[in-house]
């Protein structure tokens, strides 16, 4: 009987936290995608050197960004919830402590730097090969393109990082605000 009771509690916790993570990520991803085009175009226009030869586009940026956030980040965090609950929950664990643990663990699993780097590598197809570096020294147009794309990439990384840094704290706030649903 105890096993069945514990199993039911774990399922309820999994459903509860999964719903919140889905809600927070859907909202955050939606806001990121809504602002991505304008942000990209503003940053693109501010980078004067090499602007006319940039190999990336707002459309490519948004497609890659949406795919990375929806199918890598969201799926990864959602599939991590049950194992985290199994690892961290016992009868002595308070819901407030579990909220803190889960939000911190999910924040670590988010791995913001890796997400940001993956998006930018795909958007700008960055490769610092010896040939690319040599080409930068011997071809002024290529050097301008690389300069433009690197500056653009740095600004977009900072923009995306700022959005993703809020996820862990938002999860904690929403977890805490919905404690009554578990009691």
Long-range contacts of 59-67 (CB under 8 A, 24+ apart): 60/123, 61/36, 61/119, 61/123, 61/156, 62/33, 62/36, 62/37, 64/119, 64/122, 64/123, 65/32, 65/33, 65/36, 65/119, 65/123, 65/160, 66/29, 66/33
Give me the residue spans of the domains in the chain.
2-47+56-181
* pLDDT tens sequence for the chain (183 residues): 567 788 898 999 999 999 999 999 999 999 999 999 999 888 777 766 545 556 667 888 999 999 999 999 999 999 999 999 999 998 888 999 999 999 999 999 999 999 999 999 998 875 455 445 555 556 677 666 676 778 888 999 999 999 999 999 999 999 999 988 776
- The pTM score is 0.84
């Amino acid at each position: 009987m105890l096993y069945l009771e514990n199993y039911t509690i774990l399922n309820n916790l999994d459903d509860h936290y999964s719903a919140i993570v889905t809600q927070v990520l859907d909202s955050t991803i939606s806001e990121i995608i809504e602002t991505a085009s304008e942000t990209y175009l503003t940053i693109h226009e501010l980078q004067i050197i090499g602007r006319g030869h940039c190999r990336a586009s707002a459309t490519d940026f948004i497609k890659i960004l949406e795919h990375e956030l929806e199918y890598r980040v969201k799926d990864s965090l959602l599939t991590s919830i049950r194992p985290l609950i199994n690892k961290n929950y016992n009868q002595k664990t308070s819901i407030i402590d579990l909220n803190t643990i889960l939000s911190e663990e999910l924040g670590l699993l988010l791995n913001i730097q890796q997400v940001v780097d993956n998006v930018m590598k795909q958007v700008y197809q960055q490769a610092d090969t010896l040939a690319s570096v040599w080409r930068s020294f011997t071809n002024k147009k290529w050097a301008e393109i690389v300069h433009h794309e690197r500056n653009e990439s740095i600004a977009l990384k900072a923009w995306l990082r700022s959005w993703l840094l809020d996820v862990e704290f938002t999860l904690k706030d929403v977890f805490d605000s919905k404690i009554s649903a578990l009691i």
